[in-house]
Amino acid sequence: MAVYVIGGGLAGCEAAYQLAKRNIQVCLVEMKPEKYTPAHHNQDLGELVCSNSLKSEDPETGSGLLKAEMRALGSLLIACAESTKVPAGGALAVDREAFSALVTKRIESMPQIQRISAEIHTLREIAERSDCQGIVVATGPLTAEPLAQDIAAMLGINRLSFYDAAAPLVYADSIDPEKSFRAARYGKGTADYINCPMSKDEYNAFYDALIRGECADVKDFDEKCVYEGCMPVEVMARRGADTLRFGPLKPVGLRHPETGESYYAVVQLRQDNTDGTLYNIVGFQTRLKFGEQKRIFGMIPALAHAEYARYGVMHRNTYLQSPGILTATFSVESALNPFDCPVFFAGQITGVEGYMESASSGLIAGLNAWASVTGNEPVLLPSDTMMGALASYVSTYGGGDFQPMGANFGILSSTRVSEIRGLRDKKQRKTLLSQHALKSLQQVIDARSDCFA
């Protein structure tokens, strides 16, 4: 008997790991290397597509608190990220190739996990297998259309789509050192980013070319459906001439370390691999044609002769209208599940946004798949923890249009959280919210010795 985990991305790997380390047999079904989505190129598990940054490590930020909670619960993905990290100031960024290789090694070394290379078209073909005890669907935002249609039909819903884009990668030795500099914003932290400054005239010429650049045709593309958290740079630029200067090209706090000179706009490059040979153009997700990327981004003085290891690409992402469909354990509501076995969803398909958010949902889904097949009580994390708050958001959000959500302090809730929000000192609020969340999580760990012993 086994739990079938469909999808070998971050959420699927985390779910499979949590099940396997609790001695549950797992069939991890991943269509690579037999078939790839337009955004995937590496045959390894846990491939990072958009960026190599996993966001802040500071526990007094939403993303940092999320990592601290995952670490406390024994996350595989956090351990792999920490073993393959590259310099990124206060963020946790990884060598993406080394990260995926390590995730694959860890998963394939567990005797409880069998990796199967196959594309799944319907959930029924899994649910009706004689050895199937449960299913975790972690097929991600690029779920293949046949399976996506099957899921929609099963749940009786209309799927929402948004568009996601990956930023270009440039070779470090092709960046002009005379027209760039290393510096930390406001002089705080280490100078891990390469800064590419622009004068007002240079920026205006770049901006004019950017908003007029020729874009690749993306099927069914509609700018109204673009997700705010991963917006193409040209779409953002069309909102106004200064939008980029208040966003990814913000010059505030960045001065040349030798001359003290300030600039009209600054493009930042973030190290993308351990050797420091590749750099990501931060915030430059795009659907511009490849030739247009080289021409327009070459108007940034430091990138005039840049050579590209990967141009930016864009693809459609899919997620569920999860409230009313999923519970806070990421399981499908019993009234909607036509199968005899429990069905869980995990990852960006549920409406969580971000690498670690996806992995955290896989962790919760894995724990609860274990609880379901072993007859234990569900593992419910309180909404004053970041992981619990994300689970609550995707299962009970009652606002207007449901949109993907990343980790942030605004979604935490409890009586104590409300009391802390009443404090005037912003830094103190964040400190206390983080401390309270970790204390609340520890209480769950202490109370569930059956699960966390």
pLDDT of 135 strictly over 60: yes
Tell whether 105 and 91 lie within a shared domain. yes
Tell whether 15 and 122 lie within a shared domain. yes
Q: Last residue of a domain, which of 286, 316, 346?
A: 316
> Between 114 and 50, whose confidence is greater?
114
pLDDT digits over 366-375, tens only?
Answer: 999 999 999 9
Residue range of the domain that includes 189: 166-316
Instruction: Tell me the percentage of the chain whose pLDDT exceeds 90.
Output: 71
Cα of 84 vs its chain's centroid, Å: 17
Q: Last residue of a domain, which of 252, 287, 316?
A: 316
Tell whether 224 and 242 lie within a shared domain. yes
Q: Last residue of a domain, which of 287, 316, 345?
A: 316
Task: Give the separation between CA 363 and CA 15, rounded to whole angstroms.
Answer: 5
Task: Give the separation between CA 260 and CA 265, rounded to whole angstroms.
Answer: 15
Tell whether 123 and 232 lie within a shared domain. no
Tell whether 310 and 170 lie within a shared domain. yes
CATH number for the domain spanning 359: value is: 3.50.50.60
Count of domains for the chain: 2
pLDDT digits over 162-206, tens only?
Answer: 666 778 989 998 999 999 999 988 887 889 999 999 999 999 999
- The confidence band for 360, taking pLDDT boundaries of 50, 70 and 90, is very high
- The confidence band for 304, taking pLDDT boundaries of 50, 70 and 90, is very high
Tell whether 118 and 94 lie within a shared domain. yes
Tell whether 139 and 283 lie within a shared domain. no
Residue 81 neighbours by CB under 8 Å, 6+ apart: 54, 92, 94, 99
Residue 118 neighbours by CB under 8 Å, 6+ apart: 29, 31, 34
Tell whether 198 and 328 lie within a shared domain. no
pLDDT at 384: 96
In this structure, what is the dihedral angle of CA atoms 348, 353, 355, 357, given to the nearest 10 degrees? -90
CATH number for the domain spanning 229: value is: 2.40.30.260
The secondary element (H helix, E strand) that includes residue 211 is helix 200-212
For residue 132, what are the CA distances in angstroms to 24, 171, 192, 294?
12, 47, 48, 50
Tell whether 139 and 190 lie within a shared domain. no
| Length of the chain counted residue by residue | 453
- Selection from 121, 135, 155 nearest residue 12 by Cα: 135
- The confidence band for 36, taking pLDDT boundaries of 50, 70 and 90, is low
Cα of 381 vs its chain's centroid, Å: 20
Tell whether 309 and 194 lie within a shared domain. yes
* SS3 category, 138: coil
Dig out the tokens for 79 from the structure: 């351990």
Tell whether 63 and 103 lie within a shared domain. yes
- Among 135-144, 178-187, 237-246, 400-409, where is mean pLDDT lowest? 400-409
Tell whether 223 and 187 lie within a shared domain. yes
pLDDT at 426: 84
